Amino acid sequence: MSAITLRKALGVLAKSSSFSVTTVTHRQKDEFDQLKEQLFVKQEIETELQRYLDVAKPGEIIFLCGSSGDGKSEILTRCQSDPRYQRRFSFHLDATHSFAPRQSAIDALNDLFTNHHQQSSPLLIGINTGMLANFAREGAECHLAIRSAIDSFLSAQQDESRPYRKDNCSFFDFEHYPKFQFNENKNYSSFIKALLD
């Protein structure tokens, strides 16, 4: 790896960095990609998601949901590049985007779900929780079962088992995988511990 200034290295970590959201790309990897890979800490949610993907059934819809910048696209891109999942799953990395100038994100999700069938490959979707709520409210009537599963997930108590499952939909939510744990005796973060090791 060639020399990188501290300012440039820290810039890779910034939310505004082009490296903050990972997408499928065919560009040549450079030293910033190598740095990002070195700094990457695998989270519990990724481990549990991969364990679940190993037994996922045809027709399932698996939502990886959370807030902006929490690592959904990074995890999904890593899964998509893993030979175990490449041909076995359909991926939709960012459900906040559409594919045409006059198409809304809700329209794009409607199309995605219309083309997904019970016998098709499991579908893995990265989606912000707000967009999930929008789809539950505004999605097409023909997707009422999916909208109902989303509503059920959004209404569930936080202590529900992980992942939350309803019909053929499973939800992995970053909210259920805290990076910090607090109790009366100590503060603990397995995420920070892994970063420092």
pLDDT of residue 46: 93
Q: For every one of its 197 residues, what pLDDT tens digit does the chain have, with 9 covering 90 and above? A: 566 777 776 666 565 455 545 555 555 766 766 776 766 678 889 999 999 999 999 999 999 999 988 889 889 999 999 999 988 999 988 777 777 788 899 999 999 999 998 888 999 999 999 999 999 999 999 999 999 999 999 998 666 667 999 999 999 999 888 777 666 666 566 666 665 66
Locate all alpha helices (DSSP H) within 81-176, ordered by sequence: 83-86, 105-114, 129-138, 144-155
The rounded Cα 120 to chain-centroid distance in angstroms is: 20
pLDDT of residue 60: 96
pLDDT of residue 144: 97
pTM: 0.78
159 near 178, Cβ under 8 Å?
no
pLDDT of residue 97: 72
